[in-house]
């Protein structure tokens, strides 16, 4: 990207020193650090030519957490294993066996444990998308629609 515009602004000494410490820690110039901060902020808040805007309300964190999923209020309430691939405060993406019966806008409950926590997180989810995988797995993208307050607290602490 061609850099053909200069921007000058006033700030206080404490902010300047903090930015210089960050620049020193990352072995970059002060100008480069400020440009990256501005670029990331603009990318997160609005469309820029050539930059895809993030539509999610919460950032996702890539993980690999073993999980169980099951359909509540159905005759087949057996547990199915899966792996949470990424997670945010508003939903998750989970890899499950190909033979699991799932439909868009369907619901399931999930139980998983985050690192350094003893009690599991229990959430009710609504399926938003199904991504067909290979012969053995597929992925479900789902929003959280209900969960107990301690589960949300643990999830928030983990993602912060």
Could you tell me the residue ranges of all domains in the chain? 1-55, 61-159
What architecture (CATH level 2) is domain 61-159? Beta Barrel (2.40)
CB count in 10 Å sphere of residue 65:
18
| DSSP letter (8 states) at residue 13 | H
In b/e form, how buried is each residue of 21-56, taking b as 16+ CB within 10 angstroms? eebeeeeeeeeebbeeeeeeeeeeeeeeeeeeeeee
Residues in the chain: 160
Mean per-residue pLDDT, 21-34: 86
Tell me the CA distances in angstroms from 22 to 9, 34, 37, 120, one per residue in order: 19, 10, 11, 37
Whole-angstrom Cα distance, residue 29 to residue 113? 41
More confident residue, 160 or 17: 17
94-115 pLDDT tens trace: 998 887 777 777 888 999 998 8
33-61 pLDDT tens trace: 888 888 777 776 665 555 555 555 677 88
- Phi then psi for residue 97, to 5 deg, are -60, 145
Q: Look at residue 75 and tell me whether its pLDDT is greater than 70.
A: no
Mean per-residue pLDDT, 13-23: 91
Q: Are 54 and 41 in contact (CB under 8 A)?
A: no
The predicted model scores a pTM of 0.60
**CA nearest neighbour of 64 among 88, 94, 98, 108:** 94
């Amino acid at each position: 990207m061609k850099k053909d515009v200069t921007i000058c602004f006033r700030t206080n000494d404490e902010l300047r020193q903090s930015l210089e410490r960050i620049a020193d820690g990352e072995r970059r110039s002060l100008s480069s650090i400020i440009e990256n901060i501005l670029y990331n902020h603009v990318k997160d808040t609005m469309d820029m030519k050539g930059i895809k805007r993030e539509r999610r309300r919460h950032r996702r964190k890539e993980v690999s957490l073993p999980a169980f999923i099951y359909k509540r209020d159905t005759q087949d309430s057996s547990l199915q294993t899966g792996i949470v691939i990424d997670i945010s405060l508003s939903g998750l993406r989970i890899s499950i066996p190909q033979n699991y019966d799932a439909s868009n806008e369907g619901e399931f409950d999930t139980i998983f444990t985050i690192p350094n926590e003893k009690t599991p997180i229990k959430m009710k989810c609504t399926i938003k998308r199904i991504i067909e995988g290979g012969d053995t797995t597929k992925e479900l993208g789902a929003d959280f629609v209900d969960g107990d307050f301690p589960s949300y607290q643990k999830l928030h602490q983990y993602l912060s």
